[in-house]
Amino acid sequence: MRLFARRHGEATFARGGVHPDERKELSAACAIEPFVPRSVTVPVSQSLGAPSVPVVKKGDRVRRGDLIASDESGGVPVHAPVSGIVKSVDSGIHPVLVLDLSITIEARADEDEPTFPEQPGWETLPRDALLERIRRAGVVGLGGATFPTYRKLMLPADARVDTLIINGSECEPYLTCDYRLMLEQAEEVVLGAWLIAKIIGVPRCLIGIEDNKSDAGAAMTAAIARLALDRRDHPLAMQVVVTQTKYPQGSEKQLIQALTGRLVPQRGLPMHVGTVVQNVATAFACLEAIRNDKPVIERVVTVSGGGISQPKNLRVPIGTMITPIVEACGGFTDEVVKVLAGGPMMGRALADFNAPVTKGTSGLLFLTRAETNLDRYQPCIGCGECLDVCPLGLEPSKVSQYVEVGRPLETEEFGVFDCFECGCCSYSCPSNRPLVQFMQVAKAAYRHAAAKKKVSA
């Protein structure tokens, strides 16, 4: 008999982290619903890196899935999320970049609407063909980082990678889009992961899921058993690892440590410790890209927060504007003071509702005064809380004090360049200091100084 039932996941990263209110109950029970707006506005920057180049012009007729911006610039291909008429190719709002060249398409269903059926022989495609389909489909990291997936999977010849990690942590409060995907389409996620493992040639795959989503973990485990991955042409040992619910469990380097115990070096990449990490939604997109030859033209978005009448998990075309989403979710319930693209820890605050969903938009949160933080900040009292919660062992308090007195170029030793802006420090600061912003200011000062040096040299 076990005296102490292991109710909680054991695996976690070693240092720091915080436990914000999860608030996932608002939308956790909402099954994924499709929603198609009357028009979409698609920014050409859909990945980390260069913007893509429009290949359509005003008045063109496009079908769902047609290429509308090419990756010749070094970005990723962008496809028409809906069939219809190109209304404009013009400057528009981008949730992260503020402004971006955007293609507006008025939806008009085609007589012969593309359905993206399963392609015969997809399971036995060679590695290069798999990779090419992922590139062609414009798959990017859908957890929010939007790094082009084919580039992440194109490992250098000398890389020794043995483990694929699938990230189902969804450690940001409020967000439930990955949770619903794992619950409702577990087999697709597992098959997508299997394809990725095949591409990078690893025998082992670990799926990290926090213990507040144990039903999703069970669904994934059942899907793994049904699909008999160990008896396929690329045999794969896949396993769900239940981790502690702790932010930022879903951060790449923290998840690697939680699942494998390996530590990615400062400024190193997951492949330096033999791992590749992909989000569950990205695995799903890889499957659709390969099995159905379907580009990334839609994604699941969690619409939540105390300010929205009916929180939902919507599968929307890329480029869907916030306004129709608000209408589809019953409008506001209370005074909304902040609208976020992404989660409340790392998401971006939006200036107005004329912003579209991009490939990196995991959530749209409508926060009321009571939910968010608009308090003023005070001087650092040296409590050391930020030092305790930083998962990397950096010194946010010191960075903030140096920036405050106008010495941002002396902050490297406190770790500014390693900071990935998870926000544990600001979240915990009793003086409400915007420590992430101070980090950003310091980084910008270094960038500015480097640019100046280049000019004068």
Enumerate residues 177-196 that contact other proteins by CB under 8 A.
none
Cβ pair 365, 348 in contact under 8 A: no
Residue 357 has a CB neighbour count (10 Å cut-off) of: 29
Q: Does 434 bind other proteins (CB under 8 A)?
A: yes
Q: Does 384 bind other proteins (CB under 8 A)?
A: yes
CA distance 350 to 330: 20
Name which of 293 and 334 has its Cβ closer to other proteins. Answer: 334
Q: Which of 99, 379, 447, 448 binds other proteins (CB under 8 A)?
A: 379
Helix (H) or strand (E) holding 399: helix 396-404
Q: Does 99 bind other proteins (CB under 8 A)?
A: no
Helix, strand, coil percent values for the chain (each to nearest 5): 30, 20, 45
Q: Which stretch binds other proteins (CB under 8 A): 51-59, 138-146, 237-245, 427-435?
A: 427-435
Q: Which of 415, 416, 442, 445 binds other proteins (CB under 8 A)?
A: 415
- Amino acid type, 95: P
Q: Which of residues 53-82 bind other proteins (CB under 8 A)?
A: none
Q: Which of 29, 99, 225, 381 binds other proteins (CB under 8 A)?
A: 381
Q: Which of 135, 253, 294, 312 binds other proteins (CB under 8 A)?
A: 253
Cβ pair 340, 357 in contact under 8 A: no
Q: Would you call the peptide bond into 120 cis, given omega within 30 degrees of 0 as the criterion?
A: no
Q: Which of residues 330-359 bind other proteins (CB under 8 A)?
A: 331-332, 335-340, 342, 344-353
Phi, psi of 409 (to 5 degrees): -85, 10
Name which of 64 and 398 has its Cβ closer to other proteins. Answer: 398
Q: Which of residues 192-251 bind other proteins (CB under 8 A)?
A: none
Which DSSP category does 180 fall into?
H
Q: Enumerate residues 6+ apart whose C-beta is below 8 A from 421.
A: 346, 436, 439, 440
Q: Enumerate residues 6+ apart whose C-beta is below 8 A from 362.
A: 142, 143, 144, 172, 175, 177, 178, 281, 299, 301, 302, 342, 343
Rounded to the nearest whole angstrom, what is the least distance from the CB of residue 416 to other proteins in the complex? 13
Site string for other proteins, 257-276 (x = CB under 8 A): x-----xxxxxxx--x----
Q: Does 169 bind other proteins (CB under 8 A)?
A: no
Rounded to the nearest whole angstrom, what is the least distance from the CB of residue 69 to other proteins in the complex? 26
Q: Which stretch binds other proteins (CB under 8 A): 103-111, 116-124, 207-215, 370-378?
A: 370-378
The rounded Cα 23 to chain-centroid distance in angstroms is 19
Name which of 191 and 367 has its Cβ closer to other proteins. Answer: 367
* Count of residues in contact with other proteins, rule CB under 8 A: 77
Q: Does 147 bind other proteins (CB under 8 A)?
A: no
